[in-house]
Homo-oligomer: A and B are copies of this chain.
């Protein structure tokens, strides 16, 4: 029945695609570059969205919704912004049976349309800070797409805030970076490096872009979230001004920040294995599948009854367990499928825990529990199943993070010599910290010769760049040289 999953060692990219398609997380659509997010994938997005939304709201941000269509002229108001996004835009030229007087682009991001409203809503310092977030779909016409990681249309949240000063905008930018970093680690169990993007890699229209970067199992980097200090760039273009306490009209300072359905791809490439999806319990809606072993006709009623009792006991334990979510349980009573087939199926779709209930174990008052990530069978007395389930789920969540962090740390190397770098970036690959003189020429040379890019510039505790006394990896200059993380990326 089930197709075979390409092993990671054979072809990482095929492996990834096999998981996404076979676990029914997403599918290719008839619209080039656009994917369909299937229920198994969308339920992960729903969990992720719920958790992140809570964290965003805790910082005082409120959700709103702005138009999908942006007048083409708006995009052009900020010079760098239009240069960055115009080539990727989908353009609506006709509507309601007529050619439009002004064309619309489908939002690739919403800074411009949102600023047109901010300019209307903001009058005085009393209206600041204005903290808005939007959950929405965006469209960027991409040449090379990959399910979840890079699609023409994707789902995301985009935060947009206005502040009285650049300093406040900077604090907001950093705060949201921390929200993303904590969220990635706590919920996705995906460890991230965070830092500043180089000028070349920053958002089109930003003063400064911060990012979180994760390492996938093929040792490539995935940009998992960005937070931009926009300064007054868009405020200038849209005249988003306020009357300050000193009686003067001033431009607001802004931030924007976003994460997208790409996170699902990152989570898959961080944890999954050759058997299928490995899902951190905090992203699961069904945490436990109970598979009754029904081969013995006489024992069937007792086996099914025990499954029901165990399910009830787990569900009832939700009220007293200290997990930050309610455990979801599914009993698979389907008699047309063999237990072995079911085991494979639930491994493929990534149910965190499997409980086998068979007549022989029932004689000993026990069941078999298997964690998806470890695959080891454990014999657990029926009376302690609920507490075992809760602790196994908590342990799985933290073990996944630890395993991913250990992997990343083991594959992050310090390097000071360019020829050594050129060799090692090919084999063994990974992340490389190295000194960089901040010259875009050196940065471009690395990209051209190795396809690696600067993923971020790590920061010290006061968000300053970290000076390096050694010379630049490429040119050897020691002036202005700072620590950078290089890697090949998605």
Using a CB–CB cutoff of 8 Å, the interface residues on chain A facing chain B are 27, 29-31, 34-39, 42-43, 45-46, 62-71, 74, 86-97, 104, 106, 113, 116-117, 120-121, 132, 136-137, 139, 141, 143, 153, 155
Contact = CB atoms under 8 A, between A and B. Distances in A.
Contact of A68 (B30, B88, B91, B153): B153
Task: Give me the 7 closest cross-chain CB pairs, A-B, nearest first.
Answer: A96-B141, A39-B62, A34-B67, A37-B65, A90-B95, A91-B94, A31-B67
Contacts of A139: 68-69
A106 B68 contact: yes
A87 B86 CA distance: 28
A345 to B, nearest CB: 14
B93 A91 contact: yes
A461 to B, nearest CB: 34
For A27, A37, A96, the residue with the greatest tally of chain B CB atoms inside 10 Å of its CB is A96
B36 A117 contact: yes
Contact of A141 (B37, B74, B95): B95
Given A31-B69, A34-B69, A70-B31, A91 B88 contact: no
A31 B91 contact: no
Given A91-B94, A97-B87, A66 B137 contact: no
16 contacts: A27-B117, A27-B120, A31-B113, A35-B67, A36-B64, A36-B65, A39-B62, A43-B63, A46-B63, A68-B137, A87-B96, A90-B104, A91-B95, A92-B92, A96-B141, A137-B137
Nearest to A38: B64
Contacts of A143: 96
Given A90-B92, A96-B141, A141-B95, A116 B30 contact: yes
Given A30-B71, A65-B155, A91-B95, 4 more contacts: A69-B90, A90-B96, A92-B106, A93-B93
Contacts of A96: 87-90, 141, 143
A162 to B, nearest CB: 14
A16 to B, nearest CB: 20
A165 B153 CA distance: 35
Nearest to A151: B67
B93 A64 contact: no
Nearest to A126: B336
A93 B117 CA distance: 28
B104 A95 contact: no
Given A36-B65, A64-B42, A30 B91 contact: no
A45 B89 CA distance: 29
A45 B121 CA distance: 21
Nearest to A31: B67
A74 to B, nearest CB: 8
A96 to B, nearest CB: 4
Contact of A67 (B36, B62, B92, B120): B36
Contacts of A120: 27
A31 B95 contact: no
A143 to B, nearest CB: 8
Nearest to A96: B141
A477 B95 CA distance: 43
Contact of A31 (B31, B94, B104, B155): B104
Nearest to A140: B96
B71 A113 contact: no
Given A90-B92, A90-B95, A66 B113 contact: no
A29 B95 contact: no
